[in-house]
Amino acid sequence: MEGKCKHWKIRKVGVAVIRELYGVMASVDVSDGVIVTSGEFTEEAEALSKEKALTLISGDELSKMLGRKVL
């Protein structure tokens, strides 16, 4: 299992991040991927994640999972 953490200065994660993760997954033959953000995802990122079967967890969802508000 491999992980990566990035600090973004923007609140919306775009499609480039989805493409990057999917590219890495394809290169090492991994079928599942998850991206978590304290912010939100763009519509394009959400659409591509569904096409590639990746899981996206937004700040609102993360807050619910943790039982408290995140940044």
- Banded model confidence at residue 71, pLDDT cuts 50, 70, 90: low
Q: Which residues contact 69 (CB under 8 A, 6 or more apart)?
A: 63
Give per-residue pLDDT as tens, 3-59: 677 666 778 999 999 999 999 999 999 888 999 998 999 999 999 999 998 999 999
Residue (of 8, 26, 6, 15) closest to 56 by Cα position:
15
Tell me the C-alpha distance between 10 and 40, whole Å: 9
Tell me the C-alpha distance between 31 and 5, whole Å: 20
What are the residue ranges spanned by the domains of the chain?
12-66
Report the sign of the C-alpha dihedral through residues 14, 42, 52, 38, in that order. Answer: positive
Question: For 10, which DSSP code?
Answer: S
pLDDT at position 1? 57
Whole-model pTM: value is 0.83
